[in-house]
Amino acid sequence: MLRFTLSRLVQAIVVVFVVFTLTFFMIRLAPGSPFATGEKQMPEEVMEMMKRSYGMNKPVYQQYFGAIGNYLQGDFMPSMKYEGRANAKIILDAFPVSLTIGISALLIALGIGLPAGIIAAVKRNTFLDYSAMSLALIGICLPTFVMGPFLALYFGIKLEWFNVAGWFSPTDWVLPSVTMGLIYAAYIARLTRGGMLEILNQDFIRTARAKGVPGWKIVVFHALKGGLLPVVAFLGPALAGITTGSFIIEKIFNLPGLGQHVINAVFNRDYTLTLATVVFYTSLLVAVNFLTDVLIAWLNPKVRLA
Amino acid sequence: MSAATAVITAPSGVSLSKGRSLWQDAWARFRKNRLAVGCTVLLAFIGLLCAFGPTVAFYKFGMTGETQDLVLKASPPSAQHWFGTDSLGRDLLVRTLEGGRVSLKVALIATLVALLIGVSYGATAGYVGGRADSWMMRVVDILYAMPFMLFVILLTVAFGKNMTLLYLAIGAVEWLTMARIVRAQVLTLARQEFVEAARSLGLPGRMIIFRHIVPNVLGPVIVYTTLTIPAVMLLEAALSFLGLGVQPPDSSWGTLIDDGANNMETYWWMLAFPAGIFSLTLFCLNFAGDGLRDALDVKSGKD
Amino acid sequence: MSTVLDVRDLKVAFHTRNGVVRAVDGVSLSVEKGKTTGIVGESGSGKSVTCYSLLGLIPMPPGKIEGGTAAFGGQDLLKLSESELQKVRGRRISMIFQDPMTSLNPYLRVGTQLIEPLRLHEGLSKSEAMKRGVEALREVGIPNPEQRIRQYPHEFSGGMRQRVMIAMALITRPELLIADEPTTALDVTIQKQVLDLIRDLQKRLGIAVVFITHDLAVVSEVCDFVNVMYAGRLVEAAPVRELFAQPRHAYTRALMRSIPALQKKGQPLYTIPGLPPDLAHLPPGCAFRPRQTPERQALCLTDRQPPLIEISEGHWVQDCPGCVIRP
């Protein structure tokens, strides 16, 4: 187990490093410059001064190692577009919004998906099962950018329960979270049902029944541990999906989250902000993947004791 | 498990049947699944509509997705415009079908890209085995953990709205899982007894690969491909929705939904129809894929 | 000699898309305290379904108990509700299964599973139950039970796992143990150990055992009384020595002929010609008829199921003129 954990940790660090490097160079390969301002042409000297202040007059690899050095010290450097503002601060201001939506969505997804999947598996091939799985399929086929506007249209405009844009009132998190939550609930429901069914068909469940263990206890104590494995495995990709989904959600509902910063940073050729946001997101994803990998390994007694 | 397997039906009184190949078995099973068959038919219908509909519209009605009617502007569904029109008076049905052409084209090509890269990579790794295989898979593991979406966004924004780039980028996101699946299949197959048997009979490697391994790998590959297509479509639509994928004057379902979402308060049909068709297509793809999976995978069991 | 279990005319059918499969078609048997009753038959003969249906363990949507009674401890098992059955399972009647590799929950420690019946049926606390668990493991011959009890199933070998299963089944001192082919998946040397263990425990605890198997050699080792099943019906039943000495039904005789160890070296092994019948389309008469030689086939009953008669004391056989050898 320890060896497994360490190797995963090393892999995680490698990924962040590779992403860092790739992003650093890719954004600089893109045509255009961070200082182009459209109609107004910046005078040469001002441009030179700006470049120097960001260290861009140095050769590229020097900038690269400089950046590595900075990041290792926790300095995410200042933004090029938003003058004077530290990237770290930009991220820290915007991230809580994305985080709230992401976590609420995940909780909604688990809260609806897990019970639905378990019930569908236990009562398989009954009406409950079919209806749950049909709803789940609809959830999978409706992408966020379809579900979001629909929900906004109905609950926001028609019923006027919620705002459809902005991040002002305390209920503004509802529609965005529910949009993403429902879709992931669908995936989780299907995965849970599949996982539980596989376990429930195993011989050791028959043994448990033969011992007189009542139905619900079989589900909770005998089946759940193995049956939830696919869901735990899914958490990694789910979080990746929620991350990218947040870009879309933030666009639909006009939320000041981190997603729009990523896109805008690239649009604006804001080298440092691009790097900062990408590295931030990657580190987050990598950390979650690492934790879920370790969790799965731990849940499997054969791996845990190896 | 290759080519022909005789099937002995156990109960006495029933004659030993001639024998059905696995593919015939699978086809029979698939046919029984009426939902999957229905969805496949519907998909074919949508595909044909998108392929030929706009041409029909042009020759019969003299209309394309770009024909503006600035007098009419945006109008709800009517007899002349079944899906209504958008804010420039363009017929939405034709636009939807044209958008479908683009979306489906991107989906198929990107899937093909993913297929080509994934299958070759995975098959090589699986067949070669040993250290080369474990290094190759480690690369896949690392790539898997990278947030590809971010890179796709980076690429598409930075390098302009190039359709080829789009195909490559989307394909690059999906090939990893295909590689894993193919490699797992090849790995187990290459070491199975019937391959040993074939080799001991003196069959050359090339023959072993083509007659024994490839047919057995095809199953999971087909299944995963049918799952990749909707994923790719979603990805393209998401990118287009964000403004990063297909660019005007081209339009795909993603861009149409984006327009629709922006106008949904006043012109609901601009969102409803493209979104509806898009979801319907995804829905059918998923069901057909599920049906294929049930038909091809002997072990997946009924549930 | 008290009868622990008395099954009369049990009928179990499965309503599938391909028709109604009559897995058990009118079977009667009884089990005495302290004795081992064997049920022998091929795969698909209905031997397992017979026992599973007693505890309500067959899947009831396609499966249905269509008739019969099963008297146990003053109750009819077939008429009990699910919650009443749960009180019987694991406490008064226990089962052990064929494959010890898959019959234990790999995600739970052995101890947890082992003491589950105690906590469930006797309401013991965890520590009390664990003490009993260690004793149980010792009883079945597992060394170092205090450490082993905390381990996971995959850390045990096949034979040891089966011992754990036995310990788990007997920990509540049930009145009846149903053993469904417990040694089929084990090596021959381990088989003997497990069989000896079962016989040993039976003598010590005085429990009744139903032993399901397709292996006649095992039957001669462990059983006191044998029921031979074919196509969901009972074809012959007798005390073990009597059955081996005087097998009356053609099927029983054919089974005996097929025991590999009893055949001459260098000769092709004897197999019963033909295949077992399709249980969805059972013939109205003698079920064994299609596999008989043509001369005897002419004598087999074709219009009704041959009745069971007591051909000599304690020895019952399906009275089909084509299949039965009269004294």
- Residues A148-172: tens digit of each pLDDT: 888 887 887 777 777 777 777 777 7
* 8 A C-beta contact, residue B213 and residue B153: no
Of B138, B238, B244, the CB nearest to A145: B238
pLDDT at B2 over 50: no
Which of A156, C112, C281, A293 minimizes the C-alpha distance to B13? C281
C-beta separation of B150 from B239 below 8 A: no
The answer to whether the peptide bond before residue B249 is cis (omega within 30 degrees of 0) is yes
The whole-angstrom separation of Cα C273 and Cα A127 is 46
Please tell me the total number of residues recorded for chain A in this structure. 306
B282: region left, alpha or beta (phi > 0 left; psi from -120 to 50 alpha):
alpha
Chain C: list its partners (3+ Cβ pairs within 8 Å). A, B
Can you give the pTM of this predicted structure? 0.78
Pairwise pLDDT comparison (B48 vs A42), residue with the higher score:
B48
pLDDT digits (tens, 9 = 90+) for C63-96: 889 989 999 988 999 999 998 999 999 899 999 9
pLDDT tens column, B57-78? 787 777 776 777 777 677 777 7
The predicted pLDDT at position C115 comes to 93
pLDDT score for C281: 81
Residue B32: C-alpha distances to residues B7, B171, B290, C16 (Å): 19, 33, 13, 17
Name the 3-class secondary structure at C112: helix
Nearest to C178 by CA among C70, C66, C316, C310: C70
Predicted confidence (pLDDT) at residue A187 exceeds the cutoff of 80: yes
Are the Cβ atoms of B10 and C281 closer than 8 angstroms?
no
Q: Which helix (H) or strand (E) holds A185?
A: helix A174-200
User: Which ranges of chain C would DSSP assign to H, the alpha helix?
Assistant: 47-54, 82-88, 100-103, 110-117, 126-139, 145-148, 158-170, 188-205, 216-222, 240-245, 250-257, 294-297
- B300 pLDDT above the threshold of 60: no
Encode pLDDT of A11-53 as tens digits: 888 888 888 888 888 777 777 777 765 556 667 777 777 777 7
Query: pLDDT tens digits, residue range B87-141?
Result: 777 888 888 888 888 888 888 888 888 888 888 888 778 777 778 887 888 788 7
Residue A2 forms contact with C (CB below 8 Å) = no
CA B57 to chain centre: 27
Q: Which residue(s) pair with C94 in the sheet? A: C177
Q: Do A204 and C91 touch (CB under 8 A)?
A: no
User: Which pLDDT band, with edges at 50, 70 and 90, does B17 fall under?
Assistant: very low
ipTM above 0.90, yes or no: no
Residue with tokens 């639909």: A252
Q: Given this model, what pLDDT does residue B161 score?
A: 64
Pairwise CA distance, residues A285 & A273, whole Å: 18
What is the distance in angstroms between the Cα of A236 and the nearest Cα belonging to chain B?
9
Task: Please indicate whether residue B6 or residue A152 has the higher confidence score (pLDDT).
Answer: A152
Chain C CB contacts of B11 below 8 Å:
275, 277-278, 280-281
For chain C, give the mean pLDDT.
Answer: 88
Q: Do B12 and C274 touch (CB under 8 A)?
A: yes
Residue B99 to residue B102: CA distance in whole angstroms: 5
Q: Are A301 and C55 an interchain contact pair (Cβ–Cβ within 8 Å)?
A: no
Cβ neighbourhood burial of B206 (10 Å; 0-12, 13-18, 19+): exposed
DSSP bridge pairs for C40: C213, C228
Instruction: Give the number of residues written for chain C.
Output: 327
Work out whether strand C93-96 and strand C176-180 pair parallel, antiparallel, or are unpaired.
Answer: parallel
Pick the residue of C17, C278, C279 with the most B CBs within 10 A to test the interface with B by mutation.
C278
Q: Between C260 and C230, where is the model more confident?
A: C230
Cβ contact, residue pair A124, B303, below 8 Å: yes
> DSSP 3-state assignment of B113?
helix
**Cα four-point dihedral sign B169, B174, B179, B180:** positive
Query: What average pLDDT score do residues C315-323 get?
Result: 83
Q: How far is Cα B76 from Cα B92, in angstroms, rounded to an integer?
A: 10
pLDDT class for A128, splitting at 50, 70, 90? confident
Residues 1 to 20 of B: which have CB under 8 A from any C CB?
A: 10-14
- Strands annotated E in chain B: 4-5, 20-21
